[in-house]
Amino acid sequence: MDRELAVSLLRGLVEIRSLSGEEREASSWLVERARGAGYDRAFVDGAGNAVAELGAETASNVIVLLGHIDTVAGVVPVRIEPRDGRDVLYGRGSVDAKGPLATFVAAGARLGGAWARAADVRVVVVGAVEEEAASSKGARFIAERFDGRAEKVPVACVIGEPSRWDRVTIGYKGRLLIDLEARRAMTHSAGPEATAGTSAVALWNLVESFCATFNNGRDKAFDQLLPSLRSINTKSDGLEERATASIGLRLPPDFDPAPLRSAVDQWASSPGGCSIRVAYRGYEPAWRGDSRNTLVRNFLAAIRAQGDPDAKPSFVVKTGTSDMNVVAPVWRCPILAYGPGDSRLDHTPDEHVALDEYWRAVLVVERALLSFASQPQ
């Protein structure tokens, strides 16, 4: 696959709206493009993931390239325009994370099935569904498929997330979501009773204080417990008032959620006139991989081989969460995240990726896989 076809693949994928839970059209489209690009097998699996495979199903080694095909909401008009002297593609998902997913598909097409069979390797490219939701439905389906019982555990996995073309990501923080619902009978606003909304504020204050205590002496963001107030709403029908709130937490590697849950549950057991319900969801422990493994070394070498004097090959850790958190504890194989784009543009109205960077990333993945597959596993 040459650059023109690779850009066409990316633009076509970005043009298809694919919110979490609504990925079917994009998955089917990507499967058809993979078939046309020479993949040995391509299909939509039982979870709705787009899957494209190179090599024999009986190959000795499996490498999974796990991207995600869903996006958050928001319309960013798709177009290619010059910006800062470079052509860039605008569109929802161009960075997070259809850019990395298209990178995987294009790199695999360049490698081809004949190479995979000769190398005795099976490359499985996945466009997973519901990564942007707390369910990670697609990644869990793939994790269970390659669990050593149904099919052999991969020897390596690359997660499709933006890292810039000259960096790899070796770790992500964990996640925990706390949902609150508080209800109480209406009272006069001049009275002394606390409102349902006050309960939502109180919960946020409790969580924020817990995090501040935990973070004392921790200077690096990756090591801190980071809270965010994702939503807070109040409403009344004249007889009852209701407040809801959602709090997100990004978890460091050594965090045990039990003390926080105990503190929240104890607070909720003394509702002060409100009926309070607290629910926990979306829990994923943090994961940090080994920066010295063969996969990381091959990617950094492939970045250097592009000969760009401005490149700064390096590895980073991220304060967000990805499908790495789902599959890494199951497979425990060499793993990293890679993809073109600036992650600061994730979910923003200005989401865009430079086409030069996208193409460099395609060449990096191709070269890194060629090298990795040629080495004893």
Mean pLDDT in each 10-residue stretch from start to end of the chain (377 residues)?
97 98 98 97 98 96 98 97 95 97 98 96 98 94 91 96 96 97 71 76 96 96 96 87 95 96 92 83 94 95 94 92 96 97 94 97 98 88
Give catalytic residue positions: 70, 131
Spatial distance between the Cα atoms of 124 and 330, rounded to a whole number of angstroms: 17
From CA 205, how far away is CA 194, in angstroms rounded?
Answer: 15
For residues 7 and 212, what is the distance between their CA atoms, to the nearest angstrom? 46
Q: How many CB atoms lie under 10 A from the CB of residue 344?
A: 10
pLDDT at 187: 66
* Cβ-Cβ contacts under 8 Å for 348 (sequence gap 6 or more): none
What's the predicted TM-score (pTM) here?
Answer: 0.92
Query: By C-alpha distance, which of 150, 131, 172, 147 is closest to 48?
Result: 131
pLDDT at 186: 61
- In 3-state terms the chain splits into helix, strand, coil percentages (rounded to 5) of 35, 30, 35
Local structure of residue 252 (DSSP, 8 states): P
* β-sheet bridge partners, residue 280: 178
Q: What is the CA radius of gyration of the chain?
A: 23
Q: Give pLDDT, residue 184.
A: 81
pLDDT on residue 126: 98
Q: What's the rounded Cα separation, in Å, for the pair 312 and 293?
A: 19
Q: What is the pLDDT of residue 271?
A: 63
DSSP 21: T
| Rounded distance between C-alpha atoms, residue 29 and residue 93, angstroms | 15
Q: What is the spatial distance between Cα 296 and Cα 338, in angstroms, rounded to a whole number?
A: 10
Q: Rounded CA gap, 241 and 198, in Å?
A: 11
User: Directed axis angle between helix 98-118 and helix 355-373, to 10°?
Assistant: 30
Neighbours of 187 (CB within 10 A): 13
Distances in Å between the Cα of 241 and the Cα atoms of 188, 201, 269 are 11, 15, 19
Q: Is the Cβ–Cβ distance between 73 and 19 less than 8 Å?
A: yes
Structure tokens at 174: 């964990």
Q: For residue 171, how many C-alpha atoms fall within 13 Å in the half-sphere facing its CB?
A: 19
